[in-house]
Amino acid sequence: MTPSPRPPFSLTLPTSRPQLALDIDNQDIENLNAALEYAPPRDVNQIMPADLLIPPPGKPNGQTPSPLLLYYRRDWWAYVTNTTLGPLKDTDPALTSLPPTWELFADVVTQLLNTDFNGDGQPDHVLCIDLQPGCKAWAVLAALYGAVAQPGGTRQGAWFARADMAPRVASPAMAQAMGIMARLAAANAAPWTPGGNATSRSTVPVTPEDWWAEGEQLPPNITQPDVNGTYPPCAAINPLFQKGRCLFTIDWGTAILRVTDDNAEQSEHMHGAGLL
């Protein structure tokens, strides 16, 4: 796809600029002075006093952790792992639980591509991740790369080697992560995949109306991504998964709040989640 030409970048600065005004009251200044005059903490490894630090996620008064999770339809997964009827019946018995590795997950979605999960004789979506440009692809790749580059846990460096801070991006781990990412993209629903139908091997029909979550208004003149390079909007949760029409998605921990009894077709209370 040839990108449309862009005009040359130019930047014009004004000859004079207004002076920035600082909106600081006396209490702000007193708090700042108190912090600067604070006695050094006893722990030499602690840069700031403990009562000035933000509690870590998961601790009292800390930020709510929202990791990436693997969401899935439990009823469809129970069908595909059925030991006598499901399409995975002849594979590893361990797959009655979720795939424990990225490689095995890629194997599963590849094998289940264009499979009928609900018995209506039509193929269903196996994977619906928001991989379109500017959405969640980088977060998914970072999680995937971190798992490959840090098999011993976070004590190992991911982006930089801890021993000498040498960059690790151009490493075999990144090549492996990109290979797995490509396999996931090939099984992903086409409109949410970079390159659309040229990348995805999913044959499940998708209409522009499917791009939007329940309750959102469809803008006019929406076209498919392989026509003119447009993609669905980056939503809080993939609309196909929200509507109960996809087996797997990967999204943030808060995304499942967008799935309710009103917008999950025939799949109420049938969703599960697993850690990545």
The predicted-structure confidence for 49-86, as pLDDT tens digits, reads as follows 666 667 776 677 766 666 889 999 988 888 888 755 55
Q: What is the pLDDT of residue 224?
A: 46
Query: Residue 124 gets which letter from DSSP?
Result: -
Q: Quick check: 276 pLDDT over 90?
A: no
104/25: higher pLDDT: 104
Amino acid identity at 202: S
| Confidence band of 20 (pLDDT split at 50, 70, 90) | very low
Confidence at residue 43, expressed as pLDDT on a 0 to 100 scale: 54
Higher pLDDT, 51 or 102: 102
Give the model confidence (pLDDT) of 158-175 as tens digits.
888 777 888 888 889 899
Structure confidence at residue 47 (pLDDT):
56
Which sequence spans correspond to the domains of the chain?
68-151+165-275
Distance CA 139, CA 120 (A): 34
How confident is residue 268, by pLDDT bands cut at 50, 70 and 90? low
Distance CA 70, CA 252 (A): 9
Query: Does 18 have pLDDT greater than 70?
Result: no
Model confidence at 1, pLDDT cuts 50, 70, 90, reads very low
Query: In 3D, which of 212, 190, 216 has the Cα closest to residue 203?
Result: 190
Least confident of 6-10, 104-108, 109-113: 6-10
- pLDDT at position 246, please? 93
Listed range (18-27, 96-105, 112-121, 249-258) with the worst mean pLDDT: 18-27
Q: Which residues fall within 8 angstroms of residue 72, CB to CB, at 6 or more apart?
A: 98, 247, 248, 249, 271, 272, 273, 274
Which pLDDT tens digit goes with each residue over 180-233?
Answer: 999 999 999 999 999 988 999 999 998 877 777 665 555 555 444 444 457 888
| DSSP, residue by residue, 195-248 | TGGGT--------GGGGS-TTPPPPSS---HHHHS------SS-HHHHTT-EEE
For the chain, percent of residues with pLDDT exceeding 70: 63
Query: 68-151+165-275 has which fold?
Result: D-Maltodextrin-Binding Protein; domain 2 (3.40.190)
Summary mean pLDDT of the chain: 75
Higher pLDDT, 249 or 261: 249
Would you place residue 39 in the very low, low, confident or very high pLDDT band (cuts 50, 70, 90)? low
Q: 250: part of which helix (H) or strand (E)?
A: strand 246-252
- Structure tokens belonging to residue 202: 């999913």
- Predicted confidence at residue 152, as pLDDT, reads 77
Residue of 141 and 155 predicted with greater confidence: 141
